[in-house]
Amino acid sequence: MSNQRVLESNHPPATDAARQPITFLEAIREGIREEMERDEQVLVLGEDVGAYGGAFKVTDGLLDRFGEGRVIDTPISEIGFTGAAAGAAHMGMRPIVEMQFIDFIACAFDIITNYIATSRYRGSGPQPIVIRGPCGGGVRGGPFHSQNPEAAFFHTPGLKIVYPATALDAKGLMKSAIRDDDPVLFFEHKWLYRRPQLREAMPPEDHTVPLGRASIHREGRDVTVVTYGAMVHKVLDAARALEETDEISIEVLDLRTLLPLDEETIVDSVQKTNRLLIVHEDTRTGGIAGEIAMRINEAAFEWLDAPILRVTALDTPVPYAPPLEDFFLPQSDDIVSAARYLAGY
Amino acid sequence: MASTSPPPIDIPHQLDRDQLLDLYRYLRLTRGLEERLVSLHRQSKVVGGLFRSLGQEGESVASAFALNRRADGTGDILSPLIRNLGSMLVMGAKPVQVLRQYMAKGDSPTGGKELNIHFTSFQHGYLGQISSLGDLVPIMTGVTLTFKLRGEPRVGMVYVGDGATSTGAFHEGVNFAAVQRCPLVTIIENNGYAYSTPYHKQTAATALVEKAAGYGIPGVQVDGNDVLAVYGAVRAAVDRARAGGGTSMIEVMTYRRKGHAEHDAQPYQPPDEIDKWATTNDPIDRFVAVLRENGWADDPQLEPIDARVEQELDAAVSEAEASPLPDPEDTLSDVYAGETARPHWTRQVPPNPRFV
């Protein structure tokens, strides 16, 4: 089968214009577009992804470039088009599925966890699919346009989960996710999509970021803060504040890929700072922080000078009203309090 | 000397006599293999449950027979249900593979990781189902969407039971296939029961095929125990799909004569109902009668087929029984490409919780 058929490179020559700083959203689009140029087996499916360019315009322009055979508008049917992506993957395609909001991935939970995640193990072959979509709160989207459902899939062997925080990582991880031979859930925090301060210039060469590798965003001595997605930026704000006011030095570790978890990088950092705080925008109970804490307990217990703590959203649905949502979400002040508590432990 | 038997009537659907004998062989092979499995199940050599298609072999075999069958990965693809053993055998699955699957052997198609007829060969054109019923409809929509996008003259076929027509997956898959005009044939096997749930508790529709109209696609209902009628209906749908006519639906009317699985004593099915189907509407009996009455085959042609099937099954059972169970460490492979999962730390010597 032509699973790995690759077209001749059709990249436009790198120009200065091509290297202008671009947004997080544009970086994702560029990653998808470049992989579609590179490999004709890559196709996009989802609601309103074609003529309309997607609810957030992530796939804008792809229909004109690649045509209806590779950018497919679907009925409102997450089971239907996620299942169809799985079938196409069996035939050697590399589908990218858009969930209009990642909250709706729950509709396809069965197909993803029972079918796609187990296909290789069952002997039915690889499922090189990227399932992507806008996630996250802080944009007043209410209970069904704000969720972070990564933990619901974190428990499923066979899946990979990517959750970038920067434009460079978003593009590089998207390209790696598309090339990966396993199914990848790709979480795009919508609050990051158009932040002007996140604009970055992309390198002219083929820019990929490997899956399964965390990055140290900021080096520090006193407390390791493990986080991902939009929380990376709140943690960075907190780290700057703590440095100034308390002279506490925070190491900020951005997981980038949640599954597989880069345990080694976390352990290395904890062995340096001896204190660990985990911050995620997802709710608390059953969140990824619990698993990270357990891994460190197993692998680096003697290195700890303080209990492992976490800052997360509350164990409630995501509320709509600004005072409620702001109260629900972890804020920089919470991170400051927690890090200060740990540093003084 | 003038023959006293009537002159043969033309065989319908452009089938020839060899194909009729082939159909007969697959019917016997399916029933015979299940009988062997029953025996192995009673000896506790089948590890899990055993699912029978007794009384439904006709529609399984005839429907698969209408596909373009190749062994090189370029033919049509079907996705069977738990009672479509016959369809898989027609596509090229071997009895020894099925026996090894049921017996959880290490050299079974899934290496002991999946059970019964849940296994795949894209080479031969069958895609194993999973236990969430209806899921293979959208999956096969994607398989056939790919055929269409690539301009390949290939067709897909997916089986669902009367029960799975109630699922969201069925609806979403058929609807998407209809919109995209995918070359997909959906076979609804209406055998009267979904586990213990009878038809009237599954749907208020007078016929499941009526659902086709709601999707804007053609649908026909056919006597599922009439082998040639099933073949004819499926062949027409497959030809239309291959010619670019899009997806369609066929409801095959049949009856499940055994319980959901061997453990199920089927107290919810009236015994006289089962007897009636067994004595008057067995698909193999009916097919044999048709072969004889039309002069297409006689006992001297059929009996050697029975004997060969039994020989083949004898050999397959011996081979499968001799197969090894999987190595426990095989558990760790094939979760991800090129990686093995982390083993139990407690089984390291000495136990070490830190190993990564």
pLDDT tens-place string over residues B152-183: 999 999 999 999 999 999 999 999 999 999 99
**Which residues face A160 on adjacent strands?**
A184
- Report how far residue B57's alpha carbon sits from residue B174's, in angstroms, rounded to the nearest whole number: 25
- Report how far residue B106's alpha carbon sits from residue B112's, in angstroms, rounded to the nearest whole number: 5
**Which one, of B264, B250, B256, B260, lies nearest residue B283 by Cα?**
B256
Q: What is the mean pLDDT of residues B80-98?
A: 98
Active site residue A145: yes
- Report how far residue B275's alpha carbon sits from residue B266's, in angstroms, rounded to the nearest whole number: 13
Contact B61, B25 (CB under 8 A): no
Q: What is the dihedral of CA B102, A87, B208, B242, to 10 degrees?
A: -110
Q: Is B65 left (phi over 0), alpha (psi -120 to 50) or beta?
A: alpha
Sheet holding A42-46: strands in order across? A71-73, A42-46, A94-98, A130-135, A184-189, A160-162, A257-259
B-chain CB neighbours of A115 within 8 Å are 130, 132, 135, 139
- At B354, the pLDDT band (50, 70, 90 cuts) reads confident
Q: Minimal Cα distance from A108: which residue of B?
A: B169
Contact A149, A189 (CB under 8 A): no
- Report how far residue A263's alpha carbon sits from residue B263's, in angstroms, rounded to the nearest whole number: 46
Contact B175, B141 (CB under 8 A): no
- Report how far residue B257's alpha carbon sits from residue B235's, in angstroms, rounded to the nearest whole number: 26
Q: What is the DSSP letter of B243?
A: T
Q: What is the pLDDT along chain A (345 residues), one digit of tens a residue?
A: 343 444 434 444 445 556 899 999 999 999 999 999 999 999 999 999 999 999 999 999 999 999 999 999 999 999 999 999 999 999 999 999 999 999 999 999 999 999 999 999 999 999 999 999 999 999 999 999 999 999 999 999 999 999 999 999 999 999 999 999 999 999 999 999 999 999 999 999 999 999 999 999 999 999 999 999 999 999 999 999 999 999 999 999 999 999 999 999 999 999 999 999 999 999 999 999 999 999 999 999 999 999 999 999 999 999 999 999 999 999 999 999 999 999 999
Q: Which residue has the tokens 């426990």?
A: B328
Q: What is the mean pLDDT of residues B74-93?
A: 98
The pLDDT, as a whole number, for residue A29 is: 98
Q: What is the dihedral of CA A63, A68, A73, A78, to 10 degrees?
A: -110
The pLDDT, as a whole number, for residue B355 is: 63
Tell which of A5, A72, A79 to mutate to test the B interface (max B CBs under 10 Å).
Answer: A79
Q: Where in chain A is the domain with CATH 3.40.50.970?
A: 18-198
pLDDT tens digits, one per residue of B54-75 = 999 999 999 999 999 999 999 9
- At B9, the pLDDT band (50, 70, 90 cuts) reads confident
Residue A216, φ and ψ in degrees, nearest 5: -90, 110
> Nearest CA to CA, how far is A239 from chain B (Å)?
30
Tokens representing A154? Answer: 């974190």
Q: Is A125 left (phi over 0), alpha (psi -120 to 50) or beta?
A: left
> Does the A18-198 domain belong in CATH 3.40.50.970?
yes
Q: Which CATH class is domain A215-343?
A: alpha beta
Q: Is B135 an 8 Å CB contact of chain A? A: yes
- Report how far residue B274's alpha carbon sits from residue B39's, in angstroms, rounded to the nearest whole number: 22
Please count the residue pairs, one from chain A and one from chain B, whose beta carbons lie less than 8 angstroms apart: 147
- Report how far residue B101's alpha carbon sits from residue B95's, in angstroms, rounded to the nearest whole number: 10
Question: Which residues does B145 contact at the CB level (< 8 Å), separation at least 6?
Answer: A72, A84, A87, A88, B177, B180, B182
> Nearest CA to CA, how far is B314 from chain A (Å)?
27
Interhelix angle A78-90/B168-179, nearest 10 degrees: 70
> Any idea what the Cα angle at residue A95 is, between residues A89 and A101, rounded to 5°?
130
Q: Which of A75, A85, A181 sits opposite B142 (nearest CB)?
A: A85
| Catalytic residue (one of A90, A145, A155, A207) | A145
Q: Minimal Cα distance from B118: which residue of A?
A: A122
pLDDT tens digits, one per residue of B252-294 = 999 999 999 999 999 999 999 999 999 999 999 999 999 999 9
For residue B335, is pLDDT > 70? yes
**Which residues face B250 on adjacent strands?**
B187, B220
> Nearest CA to CA, how far is B83 from chain A (Å)?
19
* Contact criterion met (CB < 8 Å) for A88 and B73: no
Q: What is the secondary structure of B269-321 as a DSSP string?
A: S-HHHHHHHHHH--HHHHHHHHHHHTTS--HHHHHHHHHHHHHHHHHHHHHHH
- Report how far residue B119's alpha carbon sits from residue B108's, in angstroms, rounded to the nearest whole number: 9
Q: What is the ipTM of this complex?
A: 0.96
For residue B339, is pLDDT > 80? yes
Share of chain B residues as helix, strand and coil, in percent rounded to the nearest 5: 45, 10, 45
Q: Where in chain A is the domain with CATH 3.40.50.920?
A: 215-343
Contact A40, A7 (CB under 8 A): yes
- Report how far residue B177's alpha carbon sits from residue B171's, in angstroms, rounded to the nearest whole number: 10
Segment (H or E) for B54: none
> Does the B17-347 domain belong in CATH 3.40.50.970?
yes
Count of Cβ atoms closer than 10 Å to residue A10 Cβ: 9
Residue A242, φ and ψ in degrees, nearest 5: -70, -35
Distance of CA B263 to the CA centre of its chain: 21
